[in-house]
A and B are shown apart, each in its own frame.
Chain A
Amino acid sequence: MGTYKIQSRGVFMKLAYWMYAGPAHIGTLRVASSFKNVHAIMHAPLGDDYFNVMRSMLERERDFTPVTASIVDRHVLARGSQEKVVENITRKDKEERPDLIVLTPTCTSSILQEDLQNFVDRASMGADCDVILADVNHYRVNELQAADRTLEQVVRHYLEKAKRQGCLDLRKTEKPSANILGIFTLGFHNQHDCRELRRLLKELGVETHQVIPEGGSVSQLQFLPNAWFNIVPYREVGLMAAEYLEKEFGMPYVSTTPMGVVDTAHCIREIQSIINSQAGHEIVNYQSYIDQQTRFVSQAAWFSRSIDCQNLTGKRAVVFGDATHAASMTKILSREMGIQVVCAGTYCKHDAGWFREQVASFCDQVLITDDHTEVGDLIAKVEPAAIFGTQMERHIGKRLDIPCGVISAPVHIQNFPLGYRPFLGYEGTNQIADLVYNSFTLGMEDHLLEIFGGHDTKEVITKSLSTDTDLRWSAEGQAELSRIPGFVRSKIKRNTEKFARQNNLNEITVEVMYAAKEAFTQ
């Protein structure tokens, strides 16, 4: 290992079982492999190409994932990986004739002091394709930040290249047009959202100029500025590229996520004002379109007035997910359905400020964390009637017997439905209404069954995710507890235990339960 020194020897460890956002290289690979004819080469040990399995399994991809590894092994450790990396790049260039190769560093590269940029420079001399080094550091950014950064890097690379070659054409398309930035592989319902957005734009008379990175071609990137404006549907990925395009080419962008009836209308009005200001005078007015869609096409506005939704009034929910989906969902539940969001949270710690601002007036409490046990404990404590979260929250819900609708990545294969399931636009509002309604009614049916003695044989005493309490329940106490209807049982259990603890009782008998009840009703 002679050629390597360690950059930083102070290592901090934390005990982790589960993470919401993956390592940086995953973000880079997701962006790179979404483009057509772009190949990513990871600088990584054997086994780190698990990305290919995920893409092939979750997205059920028919094509080989254009990601290979330039493998770091003992041999490479001893001699440096320059030769191998350069060789792998030139080989891939010949085999696949890609437009671009993205050399992708991993956690392993981050601690090896190798000049990967130098390898890229060398390799690009012999290769026909473009070669770039993804500018991401494992220890500084997570999957989502890396994806955002990589998309910007690729866009910048091709615009600067066109500028250098003097072939940059900044003329706008004749009719209003937009690019959609940030649709990519393994994104939560991205494909469906993209289709819905295109449809929306079409109905607004706006031509979809380019969608990147999914299905996009890097050779077309130099024409991005021909569109009138950009749309960034998700906070997490695309903003950096949009900001770059605004700064360099004066392209305005819309970053309001068109999720839910109200925000979809917001988004459309923003599009309207951008188009009119680009045109210099009013050429579009979408008010009647919004009105028509809201009242008659989308079922969500009507749903919110219907008796069904009335029954949801004041029901308590917890929302957790990435910043985009958690914020939008919180607003929909609170503003459009009259549901009480007791806690809204996100694992996008790097975007905490924005998130707080978005949800501040729509929930009782904000939670910013990437520690799933914190989320689990909070849910166990507040006992909502439903959860809207990621796969992790779904499992927390299972253990606590609380229904959960999945609204955000990280996701499993069932979150890649074959049927049409957008979350954005007017069809998205219908899907979300179904999701919310089904989550709550399932929960209610369950409780009704329990009240009428439907299936009351299961163990009822474990509603806490944290470690077991020091308290003992007597047999009569337990029997009494099980007679209490399901939906209030855990609350009564908790109050009783709290009472017992306050009074230094370590066994809970029927008497203690009644005493607790009196104490709490006073």
Chain B
Amino acid sequence: MKPLTHTEPLHFECETGNYHTFCPISCVAWLYQKIEDSFFLVVGTKTCGYFLQNALGVMIFAEPRYAMAELEEGDISAQLNDYQELRRLCSQIKKDRNPSVIVWIGTCTTEIIKMDLEGMAPRLEMELGIPIVVARANGLDYAFTQGEDTVLAAMAHRCPDSGRAKQQSRTHIDENDSLSSRGLRSLLSFPVPSTTEQTAHPPLVLFGSLPATVAAQLGLELKRQGIQVSGWLPAQRYAELPSLGEGVHVCGVNPFLSRTATTLMRRRKCKLIGAPFPIGPDGTRAWIEKICAVFGIQPKGLQEREEQVWKGLEGYLRLVRGKSVFFMGDNLLEVSLARFLVRCGMVVYEIGIPYMDKRYQAAELALLQSTCQEMGVPFPRIVEKPDNYHQVQRIRELHPDLAITGMAHANPLEARGISTKWSVEFTFAQIHGFTNARDILELVTRPLRRNHSLQELGWVQLVQSPV
């Protein structure tokens, strides 16, 4: 093993960008479920609708809180007015569903015809009395999970100001206090330390959409360190968006939220805690440690907690140790997952990734680097904007034990004897925190376990001429 020094950098490449991924409008699928009182209106064409309909599968039939405003070639002589059209649709939505917020998702078409969604939204908002948030989550600019990033960046502007919020959260904390002291405290303009040690640090807001249980689990982990999460972006309801402002610390839970991070720093004057992401026990520990470090807290029992989780994973680890993996890249979770898998004892050949924000992911990249060094494996090749055709050639050459890839390539690769795991599942599964490390390995080892049980049967290569 060639000794590696800390100064030796990770190597980044950039290919043609001819790769398969989901359109970012797919974020409505999980965001409408996360934000319970929202309604998502995708202003696009049949192409967008068809994608959502097929990608979301059965969810479509459950009266989802999303719809398409389908753009059709209008009769030019009729001179239909975009504003009037959107007003008509949104009034209907308000009447039928009564949401607390309508999110307009701009698409490629609205970009190209330069439909002024941002200009129309405030006017309509006034007229209808319902907040309208605009996110341009189109395929011209973004890939898959970046859709969530555009929505959260837009929502960051709608979060209440922390000046007001401090009061709110104080009244909440002081609920059991006597009336007089509450009255007194609400007059004060600076944070008052409460009886518990949990407010001994500046307010912390986490950003990234996670299922309620996972968010609660992460909150609990921090609480063990005496850290109170004062809010999440997004919250379970639009009305509960967290307060932001100077002095508020923010930390991301997902690697694809760089626009949101930038917005929180530049526009809402928050302090960003740059940490690795809480994916895998190693990532979770590093994430908590970083937050503790920023708040000057000495973490307690973290190392034991991590070790305990690893011990529990041993059954899975036995299956993956020494195996190789290739990420084709489509959802931006790749670096974190690769780092975790290296720690599990795997060798990562390639990390394909749609877009690499080296600043937002800096801590994660550093952890990847040190993990590789500790485990004594070579650095993976990081390929931004990959070219699927070239990647398939490389996969044939390297013959990895596992390719993590989109559904377009999974079956053809399986037919050629390459085990695959469908990458989108990582987006929808619960993979954050100590508790869910098992779920990641459950996914990663599934093809290995399946193929193990089929091994004896002798059919691996299922195409006639493996050209």
Contact = CB atoms under 8 A, between A and B. Distances in A.
B75 interface: yes
Contact of B69 (A15, A106, A392): A15
B197 interface: no
B188 interface: no
Given A45-B108, A45-B140, A50-B55, A62 B45 contact: no
B17 interface: yes
Contacts of B223: none
A395 interface: yes
B18 A68 contact: yes
B408 A45 contact: no
Contact of B389 (A16, A95, A138): A95
B238 to A, nearest CB: 21
B23 A46 contact: yes
Interface in B45-60: 45-47, 49-51, 53-55, 57, 60
Nearest to A87: B16
Interface string B355-380: 00000000000000000000000000
Interface stretch (B154-162, B308-316, B409-417): B409-417
A249 interface: no
A13 B86 contact: yes
Contact of B85 (A12, A17, A56, A392): A12
A404 B85 CA distance: 36
Nearest to B139: A45
Interface stretch (A21-29, A157-165, A255-263): A21-29
B331 interface: no
Contacts of B45: 23, 107, 138
Contacts of A112: 112
A49 interface: yes
Interface residues of A, number: 60
A158 to B, nearest CB: 25
Interface stretch (A72-80, A237-245, A448-456, A499-507): A72-80
A23 B46 contact: yes
A11 B140 contact: no
A300 to B, nearest CB: 32
Contacts of B46: 19, 22-23, 107, 138, 142
A50 B43 contact: no
B58 to A, nearest CB: 8
A62 B415 contact: yes
A507 to B, nearest CB: 25
A92 B167 CA distance: 62
Interface string B300-323: 000000000000000000000000
Contacts, number: 187
Nearest to A398: B61
B408 A56 contact: yes
A511 interface: no
Contacts of B127: none
Interface string A82-123: 000000100000010000000000111001100000000000
Interface string B95-110: 0100000000000110
Contact of A10 (B24, B80, B88, B115): B80
Nearest to B84: A13
Contacts of B25: 47
Contacts of A44: 139
A25 B48 CA distance: 12
A16 B71 contact: no
B207 interface: no
A171 interface: no
Interface in B72-124: 72-80, 82, 85-86, 88-89, 92-93, 96, 108-109, 112-115
A187 to B, nearest CB: 16
B411 A60 contact: yes
B139 A48 contact: yes
A139 B72 contact: yes
Contacts of A492: none
A10 B463 contact: no
Nearest to B147: A47
Contacts of A23: 45-47, 50
Interface in B410-428: 410-412, 415
Most B CB contacts (10 A, CB to CB) among A60, A72, A107 go to A107
A174 interface: no
Contact of A14 (B51, B69, B73): B69
A53 interface: yes
Contacts of B51: 47-48, 50
A57 interface: yes
Interface in A141-163: 142
A4 interface: yes
A1 B72 contact: no
B75 A71 contact: no
Given A1-B112, A13-B43, A106-B47, A53 B407 contact: yes
Contact of B20 (A18, A49, A72, A77): A49
Given A12-B80, A56-B410, A138-B47, A47 B143 contact: yes
A252 to B, nearest CB: 36
Interface in A396-426: 398, 412
Most A CB contacts (10 A, CB to CB) among B23, B77, B86, B408 go to B408
Contacts of A64: 392, 408-409, 412
A65 interface: yes
Interface in B390-446: 392, 406-412, 415
Contacts of A11: 71-74, 80, 82, 85, 113, 115
B395 to A, nearest CB: 12
A288 interface: no
A64 B71 CA distance: 32
Given A12-B71, A48-B139, A6 B47 contact: no
Contacts of B50: 19, 22-23, 26, 50
B290 to A, nearest CB: 33
Given A23-B50, A47-B21, A49-B20, A62 B71 contact: no
A10 B17 contact: no
Given A46-B21, A62-B415, A15 B67 contact: yes
A88 B17 CA distance: 12
A374 B60 CA distance: 16
A470 interface: no
7 contacts: A16-B49, A25-B47, A47-B21, A47-B143, A56-B409, A61-B411, A64-B408
Given A56-B408, A63-B412, 7 more contacts: A11-B74, A11-B82, A11-B115, A12-B71, A16-B68, A57-B411, A65-B412
Q: Which 10 A-B pairs have the closest CB atoms?
A: A47-B23, A10-B74, A45-B139, A52-B408, A62-B415, A139-B73, A47-B139, A395-B61, A107-B45, A23-B46
